[in-house]
Structures are given as structure tokens and as C-alpha cells.
Amino acid sequence: MTVMKLAAYEQPLKWLALALGLCSTISIVQNWQLAAMLFGLPFCLIWIFCAWLNTERQLKYINMVFSALYIYGIARYLITGA
């Protein structure tokens, strides 16, 4: 599948990212650490995808760093149990 075919999904993905961002924020306010990371990771992955479509390198790399931190946090949470 080419990037141009995937571009048709960019706007719905951005709306999904908005919903995930809101859920992540609510999770942070409620002190639900795991939920915040589980909502935040797909949020970052969507923005990595959208940055690749628009060749926004800085946005792509920032979200790659955050994705790595979320993966680390989720793994740490699962290993240590908190």
C-alpha cells in the first residue's frame, strides 16, 4: 500500500488521536498510570504515521522518543506490578 493510499485515513486517525489524548489526560488526572500509558502509546504512533505522511521530521522523531518511553513505562509497570 502506498503512502498516498494511506493518506485517505489521516483525518480519521487524527480524530482518533484526539480521543486517545483526552482519555490519556483523564487517566493522568485520575492517577491511573497504566491507562495513561496505554492511551498515550497509540496516540504517539498515530502522530508518527501522520508525520511520515506530511514529512514533518521533527514531529516524527519527538513522537518516536515518547513511544519508546511509553513502551518502557508499560513494560516496567508489568514487570514490577506498579
Render pLDDT for 22-64 as a digit per residue (tens, 0 to 9): 999 999 999 999 999 999 999 999 988 887 777 788 888 899 9
pTM value > 0.85: no
- In the chain, what's the furthest Cα-to-Cα distance? 43
* Residue closest to 81 by CA, chosen among 37, 43, 34: 34
Indicate whether 2 pLDDT > 70: no
Per-residue confidence (pLDDT) for residue 55, from 0 to 100:
78
Q: What is the pLDDT of residue 71?
A: 96
Q: Examine the pLDDT at 65 and tell me if it is beyond 70.
A: yes
Going from the C-alpha of 54 to that of each of 11, 45, 80, the distances in angstroms are 12, 14, 39
